[in-house]
Structure 1
Amino acid sequence: MSPVVRHVRAPGTGALFVSRVLVRHFVLPVLLTVVWSAAGFAYSCPPDRIDETVQVAYVNDGDTVALADGRKLRIVGINTPELGFTGASPEAFATEARDALWALLASRREIGLRFDQQQKDRYGRVLAHVFLENGVSLTAQLLEQGYGSALTVLPNLWNAECYRAAEREARTRQRGIWVLPAYQHTDAAAVDLDASGYKILQGRVSRWVVRGGATYLYLDGKVVLRIHGDDAGYFDPRIFQRGSGYCQGRKIEVRGWLHRYKDHLYMRIRHPAALTILE
């Protein structure tokens, strides 16, 4: 017998409430490697353990849900377009991402959480990797369908490689957000000083500077990448060796949030997942 599912849209927020009559229990499969390719998915990114099972009350957006116990859960490993709760217009594909997450949860009462190093963010939201009862990652499914981009935020690095692989699948096949102009790479030399927010940039490293405990990579144009000393241990040490020329003149792709300071645009790079050497 299947659960009876209803959903109601919350006024003013666009959140989708989930109501069910029957409860399905979360069971971690004996075989964690789930073959999902038959349904068109190449990556399941299964868990090594489940720390907690929880019930979902409603879906806020493509990467955030409210739990039945009152907590809010931010799904680790993905960043989906913003719905614009503060009165701003939704970003392209934001509604589709929210609806896709709801569709994945609609017939399920419980989900499994796998915690990482940091279990709450600065807003008090629970941070966790989320899995369906068959062991398939919600993050991986959404990424592979192109509903968001892979997001690596220190210190939560578990499963990051698998999430990036799922994103590459969507990007290669031009699914979802990857057909949108906002998610195509921009030439760093052409970025306007008024640009801000999340960007994917490509450019050549024209200058390399160490100052105040941080390493700065200057790209052609006005973009400067900053790697703090606290994060240096995650990167190839050749990036930080004086005179090595490892990055000098090389074309790279970076992703992150731009902000302007005086006459430059800065992007903090905290993990190698955000910096790819292209040539």
Structure 2
Amino acid sequence: MPKGEGAQAEVERVLDGDTLVLRDGRTVRLIGINTPELGRDGRADEAFAREARLELRRLATPGSRLFIYPGREGRDRYGRTLAHLVDDDGRLLAESLLADGLGYALAIAPNTTLADCLFSLERTARERQVGLWKLSPVKRLERGAALKAGFGVWRGRVTRTGLRKDGAWLVLDEQLFVLLPGSFRARVGTLRDRTVEARGWLVDRGRRSGAKDGTRQRWLLSISHPLHLVVMD
């Protein structure tokens, strides 16, 4: 549970599996979870996107009242309120979604107070192979997984590593350039030839290799927290 006593807020409607609108007009993005995307502009829904939205609608029906705990960083770049939402039984809505395998755990500073708990719930859902984990959603670079912009979990072998001014970097299977925070500087060299899973939002830097860091990988992934990079062997 978040610390302190949360204020109550009334639900207006649910937009997708991790976002809803309150009666007071605020749009709330749940902290600690990213659910599959609903299709837009002619694109198909991602697997389990509709199930995640239906579950959040069940947990947060219009007119119901929830306790809201805003994050230390209270808004994202889209102006949405970043918060934990808790029901009358004291359970996080994100907790319920992750336990059912309807989203991926996230840890984005400074809103990381409950990150260990949420990642533990995801691991349990993964072991049980429920929800999206039935589909083995981890994209394996060594098996020729197609790269595309957006959120994902990527598995590959570390082929190169290095340091940068404010952190470190590594390359997965010579395809994906991964930026690491400063906490990795002391140990990034030990990751070479290891198999890791990295999660986050993949960015297409263009077909040319003209990245400012001098690397030639087209695809970039920035790791925001140590929990987003896991050594698998």
Q: TM-score range by the shorter chain?
A: 0.7 to 0.9
Structure 1, residues 195-252: CA drift from partner, whole Å, max 9, x if none? Answer: 332222222222112245442112223111112xxx31xx355225xxxx42222221
Q: Percent identity?
A: 35
Tell me which amino acid in the other structure corresponds to 1:78.
I
Gaps of 5+ in 1: 1-45
Q: 1:65 aligns with which of 3, 17, 20?
A: 20
CA contact under 8 A between 1:56 and 1:68: conserved in structure 2? Answer: yes
Q: Could you say if the C-alpha distance between residues 237 and 224 of structure 1 is closer, same or farther in structure 2, counting changes exceeding 3 Å? A: closer
TM-score of the pair, normalised by structure 2: 0.87
User: Distance in 2 between the 1:269 and 1:247 partners?
Assistant: 15
Q: 1:239 aligns with which of 182, 187, 201?
A: 187
Tell me the residue number matched to 1:187. Answer: 141
Q: 1:209 aligns with which of 138, 162, 169?
A: 162
2:208 is the alignment partner of 1:260: no
Alignment: residue pair count: 223
User: Distance in 1 between the 2:30 and 2:11 partners?
Assistant: 12
Tell me the residue number matched to 1:225. Answer: 178
Runs of 4+ in 1 over 3 A off after TM superposition: 211-214
User: Distance in 1 between the 2:43 and 2:193 partners?
Assistant: 40
> How well do the aligned residues superpose, as a CA RMSD in angstroms?
2.0
CA contact under 8 A between 2:168 and 2:184: conserved in structure 1? Answer: no
Displacement after TM superposition at 1:120 (Å): 0.7
CA contact under 8 A between 2:167 and 2:185: conserved in structure 1? Answer: no
Which of structures 1 and 2 has the bigger CA Rg? 1
CA contact under 8 A between 2:141 and 2:173: conserved in structure 1? Answer: no
User: Distance in 1 between the 2:44 and 2:143 partners?
Assistant: 29
What pairs with 1:113-124 in structure 2 (closer than 5 Å)?
113-124=68-79
Secondary structure of the structure 2 residue equivalent to 1:124: coil
Tell me the residue number matched to 2:212. Answer: none
User: Distance in 2 between the 1:191 and 1:269 partners?
Assistant: 20
What pairs with 1:50-89 in structure 2 (closer than 5 Å)?
50-89=5-44
2:120 is the alignment partner of 1:165: yes
Gaps of 5+ in 2: 210-215
